[in-house]
Structure formats: C-alpha cells, structure tokens
Chain A
Amino acid sequence: MTETFRLDGTDVPFEAGETILQAALKAGRFIPHLCHHPEFRPHGSCKLCTVKVDGRQAASCTRLATSGMKVESETEELNAERLALTQMLFVEGNHFCPSCEKSGDCQLQATAYHLGMTNAHYDHFFPNRPLDASHPDFLLDFNRCILCSLCVRASRDIDNKNVFGLAGRGMASHLIVNSKSGKLVDTDFSVSDKAAHVCPVGVILRKRQGFFIPIGSRTFDKKTIKEYVDTRLGEED
C-alpha cells in the first residue's frame, strides 16, 4: 500500500525517501521553486518552495514526506511570501527583462509571472558586477545570479569539474569561478557540460546566441512555469 500525505486537502502518494516537492511534482501538483532541479540533490536556498507542514514552515524541497502529514501550499499567506522573495531576488541583482536575452526562457521571470508580480516593490540595489567574457564560447553575466547553486552542483556532481563555487556569506555571497585567475577561460568548462545548460536565469550564456529565438517561440511564450516543470519531469522518465 502506497503511503500518502495531504497537500491542500487532497492526498498525494509518495515513496520512501521522497521529498514533499518531489512527490507533489510527480503527482502533477505545482509548488513554486527555483533552486530545485530533479537531477540534483536539494540545496534549499531560495525558499520559494516553502510550505506549511502541520502548521510550521518548511522548505518542501528538503523536507521528506511522511505519512499523513498535512501540507499547505496554495495559501494567500504563502504565495504573498513567495512573491516578496521573488521581488527581493529581482532587486538584489540587475534584472532588466526587456533587454535580457534570457527573457522568455527565464525561470525567475516565469515564476514572477506565475506569482502575479507586477513591480519590484523594493528599492533596487544596483550592484556592480562585471561580466566574465573571457571564455570564447560562454559569457557569465553575474548581474542576474540568484545563487541557486545549480551550476555548482551540476559541475561538481555530474561534470566532475568543480568549475563554479559559492563564496562569501549572507549579503556578500556570490558566485565564483574556480580557477587561479578567477576567469572562466582558465577552467576546463565546455559546451557539453551539464553546468552549461542548467542556469535558470541569464548568467551562463552561450555567446553570440542572443535573441536568436523570436518572441512567441521562447519556452515561456508557449508554456507556463508549471507546464514547463511537468514536461521536464516527463523527460526524466
């Protein structure tokens, strides 16, 4: 007999060892998230996936599902918090959607749409983060990094290269490139790396692609973030 927990009033089945988020997504139930990726171990940093488990907040991407637990996700309160977190992500970096080549393919933008975000609400930090354009095929635009660590995990766990790392703490944390010069060109990063294709926003960019895909044909012109997550799961199986 499969075990279940209750998510917003309906039963969700799970297998032992699955997190709330994994089980929910598998059952076609969407919980907003940014630093979770089905292929990697959870990181639990963006907190967008926060739910209430038996009345107490928890990150659904790290919390294991247990039988009979009562989970709330689609509540006004939780979505308001998710919206605020998303707005903070926008003001902490430099996200100018109209001129960003990742626009329409960006999970942060799609999540913002999903949450009904219409403005940034908070004051922009306008951080000064120079680009790393040293690599012949890839550009790093740190202005848009949301520190989800997906590239770090992909490079370390799948590519076995350890090209990226997170350094600093709190407000000072930032993405670094693990080479002596700190430049991407001095690593063995390559197009075929998993880390080259995993960034949910517009940091790790294939050079000279830019706006090659016309408006109307981009990922989120055709799908919502929920549909995107569903198909991504489908590809896994």
Chain B
Amino acid sequence: MNLELETASHPENLKRVAIDPVSRVEGHGKVTLLLDENNRVHQVRLHIVEFRGFEKFIQGRPFWEVPVMVQRLCGICPVSHHIAASKAMDMIVGAVKLTKTAEMNRRLMHYGQILQSHALHFFHLCSPDLLFGFDSDVARRNIVGVAQAYPDIARKGVLLRKYGQEIIRMTAGKKVHGTGSIPGGVNKSLSADERKSLLQEIYQMVSWCIEAVDIVKRLFEQNAQFYSQFGRFDSRSLSMVRADGAMDLYHGGLRARDTLGEKIFDHFDYRHYWEVISEDVKSWSYMKFPFLQSLGPEAGWYRVGPLSRVTNCDFIPTPLADRERREFLAFDDGRASGATLGYHWARMIEMLHAAETIKDLLHEDDIEGGELMAEGGERAGRGVGVIEAPRGTLIHHYRVNEDDLVIRANLIVSTTHNNQAMNEAIRQVALQYLDGNEITEGLLNHIEVAIRAFDPCLSCATHALGQMPLEVVVQDFAGNPVSIASRSPEGVFSSR
C-alpha cells in the first residue's frame, strides 16, 4: 500500500515530473511525480480531468433520447452507455421484465461490444508492450510493429474486433451511434440472414479467443515473477454477479470482496447502489474517488474490470472460459490473479466468454423473435441501470419528471471506479522501476503500461497506433523546469 506516496511530507525540497498524455476521449490524464535530487520518488499522482459536463447536458432532455445521446461519452465503448442508459429507462417506463427476444438482442449487442473492445484493448493498444517489452524500441512498439513481427496475431486481433463491430451494427443499426436498445426493449431483432452470417464465423472466433488467452498465459509462464509483481497492489474488488454467483456482464447484483477475498456484500440490488458506494473528492484531482461506504474513503477504494470480475464470480457460465478462469486462479499459487498485468489475462478470458456467449445466443431461436417491447408498467421517477462494461462496472442513474424530462443524472464510469486503484498501480511502478533512476522513455512507458492495463481511454484511445504524446517536466521545488522530456505522437523521444 502506498498511500504515503499520495502526498509527500516535504514537497518544498522536491522537483516535479509531469507526464501529460492528452486523450480526447474521456477528458485527459496527467501523471505527476515529485522527485528529489537523487531521483527518488516522493509523490505520485494520476490526475484525470473527467468530463462531467455531460450530466448537465442531458438535463432537460426527454428520457427516451438519453440512451442514444450518451453514446457520445466514449469513443471505445459507446454501446456500454447505450445499454446502461436503456436499463435505467426500462425502470422509468416500468418495464420490469423485458421480452426474451429483447433481452437476448441486448445481450448479443453487449457481448459483441465486449468482444470488440477487449480485442482493441489487447491487440492494438497493449500487445506491443507485452510482445516487444516495455522499454523496447519505441519506433516498433505499436500495432504496425506487431503486424510486421507477428502478422498472424495482428490479423486475428483485427478480425475479432471486426466481428464484434458487425454484431453491433446488426443489433444497434450502426457501428457507432446505433439506436437498437430503447426504453422497454429493442427496436429490432436479429434477422435470419444476419444470424446465419454470424453463425458461420463464430466457431472461428471462439478458437481465436482461445489462442489469445494462450498468448497472455505464455507471457506469464515465461516471466512469472515480473508479470506477477509489476505494479502489484492489494485491493478490494467490485463487480456484478448473477443470482447463482456466475459471471454476468449484462445484469446481476453487486458483489464486493476485501483484499483477502472475503465478501463485503453480495447480490446487492444496484437500484440502491448509493447505499454501498460513495464518492470522495480530493483537492488535487477533478475526478472523484468512489469507495465502499462500510469501509470509508481511506480503506474503501476498490478495483473494477476484468480482473475483478474473473476473480469475483463463483464461476463463468461457459465451459471454455471457466476452464481458463480456474487455470488463471491456480497459476503460480494464485499470484497472477492479483497482478496488475493479470488484467490482460482476465480480459482475454472474458473475451473468450463473450465469444462463447455469442455462440450460445445465436443458437437460440428467440433471438429472431418478433416480441420486441415489454408491456409498459407503472411509471417511475428514478431509473438506475448498471452493466459490466468492458473496463468495469458502469452506473447510470437518472431522475425523470412527470413531463418526461431528465432532471438529474449521475454517471459513475469504470475509469472513476478505478481512480484510486490506478493511482496505486503507478505508485508501485514508480517505486519499482523509476525510483533513483534517470527518466527515460522506456521508464515512462512502464507507467503507461500500468494505466493501460486498466484503461486504454486514458492513455491512447484516440491514437490509433498506440502512441500518446507525452511530456515530462522535471521541476525544482519553486516550479522551474529543470529538464523536459517529451515524446511526440510519432513516438520520438527527446530530452533537453
């Protein structure tokens, strides 16, 4: 635990390093390090400028518009917001239970989203670091480099993503800004032709997902110590699970575990999430810090996302992914399942689960059904929708007035849930690798690797080749720059 690195005791004698990656997706992030003259690390902070203007923006809009409008929140997983908002609006219109066909099509859309987002996250954004090494030649450390050195891996990554995007196009109407999920149901179901074309390729996708899990597994096997220890920290975890304890990324109750794996709460009805989750504010960050209420802001932070989900559930309800889950948990006496880089392994297990789930859904005849809308029930003034988005638990919460307009909105996105956890991870990395060393591009990249394990949006989401422009300013205690190191979007590192 590195809370002592959150705030240095004598900052006046230290110099400041700021890593300032700019991302257009979810605001932008910046890492600041305070170093002394011997480059020893005294303070590490990840600042994320979260874009909360959105909650204002939807105030006064009609509720049925929101599921489409919120997709602008994220360039990587707009569908997650689309579905979370739809679930909240299901409550508003009193649609207690969706039709079979509607739920299946929403699930198909969601698991298609998981597939495409996980493929993007792993193959495009993270595999260059993992395959070439964190401080390997920066000119090659991108997806083009991967395509040259490992053409087969790169090709499968691209095709997996494409398949997921096809599912989104078919269920939502468009790859981005679709409209498929609406309050109370869906506006279309899969057609026979669409189903047939997806079925033709799904077995191939499942087998490529198995290969993807193997890639991460081999990396861990080859370098177990490094992979388990990199940026490692103990944390509580939060995710949704199905009533029987199974992994369910679309619907369920909230489960939190402490650092020893004991349950803090289980099957908690997310419609009252504020009874178990609060948000703390810190003076140095614009982004809030959520915490588990029973433990308080200091000890109650947690992590969400693939690692939490795979370790939190009792089992994965598809056989191939569950076998991988068990292997993951057993690996190296359980060391991988608490590792920051374990996120990648867990992510690929989930991608396999998504492919298997898609396969199962495609075999259900109801996916083509004609009953799209649930019977409207009693109108409610409050709607909460929660899903497990690719990067973690996503909460949408709205108040709607009698005239059908949104009067209040609160969104807690995965990045916010993971705020403290990402801070912990980079503090560990700073201590492990930067402490006492001259800053180099490769060392800076270690910090990014840790952030990227959680979240691609922060670091390089909109930089298609996996590069983000970075500037590191080493300042003296008075704030004067001592040296500046920077990396251009093309990956050229310079220091002066």
One of B62-70, B153-161, B335-343, B361-369 at the interface: B62-70
In the complex, chain A residues whose CB is within 8 Å of the CB of B93? 208
* B298 CB–A CB distance under 8 Å: no
Cα–Cα, bound, A77→B62 (Å): 40
List residues of chain A with CB within 8 A of the CB of B404: 133, 139, 207-208
Q: Are A215 and B65 CB-contacts (below 8 A) given A98-B72, A130-B60, A207-B404?
A: no
Say whether B405 contacts A133, CB under 8 Å: yes
Contact with B62, one of A130, A134, A139 (Cβ below 8 angstroms): A139
**Residues A110-144 near B (CB distance < 8 A):** 130-131, 133-134, 139, 141
Query: Is B182 located at the chain interface by the 8 A CB criterion?
Result: yes
B1 to chain A: closest CB distance in Å? 43
Query: Given A131-B405, A133-B62 in contact, is the A210-B177 Cβ separation under 8 Å?
Result: no
Q: Which B residues, 34 to 84, have Cβ-Cβ distances below 8 Å to chain A?
A: 60-62, 64-65, 67-69, 71-72
What B residues does A99 contact at CB under 8 A? 65, 68-69, 71-72, 177
Judge whether A211 and B60 touch: CB under 8 Å.
Answer: no
Residues of B within 8 A of A98 (CB): 68, 71-72, 177
* Interface: B245 (CB within 8 A): no
Complex Cα distance, B173 from A222, in Å, reads 14
Q: Which of B68, B72, B180 counts the most chain A CB atoms within 10 A?
A: B68
Residues 204-230 of A contacting B (Cβ, < 8 Å)? 205, 207-217
**CB–CB A211/B62 < 8 A:** no
Is residue B30 contacting chain A, with contact meaning CB distance below 8 A? Answer: no
- Given the interface contacts A99-B72, A216-B173, does A210 sit within 8 Å of B64 by beta carbon? yes
With a CB–CB cut-off of 8 A, which chain A residues contact B65? 99-101, 210
A209 and B64 within 8 A (CB): yes
Chain B interface SS verdict (over half): loop
A residues within 8 A CB of B68?
98-99, 101, 210-211
B183 and A210 contacting across the interface, CB-CB below 8 Å: yes
Residues of B within 8 A of A216 (CB): 173, 188
Interface residues of A in 30-47 (CB under 8 A from B): none
Contact partner of A215 (CB less than 8 A), chosen from B69, B174, B183, is B174
The answer on a CB contact under 8 Å between A133 and B403 is yes
**Most chain A beta-carbon neighbours within 10 Å: one of B64, B69, B178:** B64
Interface residues on A, range: 20 to 34
Cβ-defined partner of B173 (8 Å) among A133, A141, A215: A215
User: What total count of A-B pairs have CB within 8 Å?
Assistant: 63
State whether the Cβ of B428 lies closer than 8 Å to any Cβ in chain A. Answer: no
Give the chain A neighbours of B183 by CB distance below 8 A: 208, 210
Residues of A within 8 A of B308 (CB): none
Is B187 in the interface zone, CB < 8 Å from A? yes
Q: B172-209 CB contact bits vs A (8 Å, 1 = yes)?
A: 11100111101100011000000000000000000000
Q: How long is the Cα–Cα vector from A131 to B407 in the complex, in angstroms? A: 13
Q: Chain B: which residue is nearest A101 at the CB level?
A: B65
B64 and A131 form a contact (CB under 8 A):
no
Chain A residues near B60 (CB-CB < 8 A) = 130-131
CB of B219, distance to nearest CB on chain A (Å): 39
**Which chain B residue lies CB-closest to A216?**
B173
Distance from B363 Cβ to chain A, minimum over Cβ atoms (Å): 23
Residues of A within 8 A of B173 (CB): 214-216
Partner of B182, one of A130, A211, A217: A211
Q: Which residues of A contact B188 (CB under 8 A)?
A: 214, 216-217
Chain B residues closer than 8 Å to A139, beta-carbon distance: 62, 404
Closest Cβ–Cβ distance, residue B406 to chain A (whole Å): 10
The answer for the CA separation of A100 and B182 in the assembled complex, in Å, is 14
Q: How far is the CA of A207 from the CA of B65 in the complex (A)?
A: 11
Q: Smallest distance from the beta carbon of B356 to chain A beta carbons, Å?
A: 27
Complex: chain A residue closest to B68, CB-CB: A99
A213 touches B187 (CB 8 A): yes
Q: How far is the CA of A215 from the CA of B174 in the complex (A)?
A: 7
In the assembly, what is the distance between CA of A208 and CA of B93, in Å?
Answer: 9
Q: Are A207 and B179 in contact (CB under 8 A)?
A: no
Contact A212 B187 (CB under 8 A): yes
Residues of B within 8 Å of A134, CB to CB, are 403
- Contact present for B182 and A210 (CB under 8 Å): yes
In residues 151-172 of chain A, which contact B (Cβ within 8 Å)? none
CB-defined contacts of B72 to chain A, threshold 8 Å: 98-99
Expressed in whole angstroms, the minimum distance between the Cβ of B409 and any Cβ of chain A is: 15
Cα(A60)–Cα(B61), bound, Å = 38
A131 to B65, CA, bound (A): 13
Known contacts being A139-B404, A208-B404, is A214 close to B62, with CB within 8 Å? no
Q: Quote the shortest CB–CB distance from B396 to chain A (angstroms).
A: 15
Q: Which of chain A's residues has its CB closest to B173's CB?
A: A215
Task: Say how far B55's CB is from chain A's closest CB, in angstroms.
Answer: 15
Which chain B residues (399-431) contact chain A, with CB distance < 8 Å?
A: 403-405
**A-B interface, 9 closest residue pairs, ranked by CB to CB distance from nearest:** A215-B173, A210-B64, A133-B403, A211-B179, A214-B188, A99-B69, A214-B187, A98-B177, A99-B68
Cross-chain pairs A/B with CB under 8 angstroms, 17 sampled? A98-B68, A98-B71, A98-B177, A130-B60, A131-B61, A131-B405, A133-B403, A133-B404, A133-B405, A139-B404, A207-B62, A208-B183, A209-B64, A210-B64, A210-B65, A213-B187, A214-B188
Residue ranges of A at the interface with B (Cβ–Cβ < 8 Å): 98-101, 130-131, 133-134, 139, 141, 205, 207-217
In the complex, given contacts A133-B404, A210-B64, what are 13 additional A-B residue pairs having Cβ atoms less than 8 angstroms apart? A98-B71, A99-B65, A99-B72, A101-B65, A131-B405, A133-B62, A210-B68, A211-B67, A211-B68, A211-B179, A211-B182, A214-B187, A217-B188
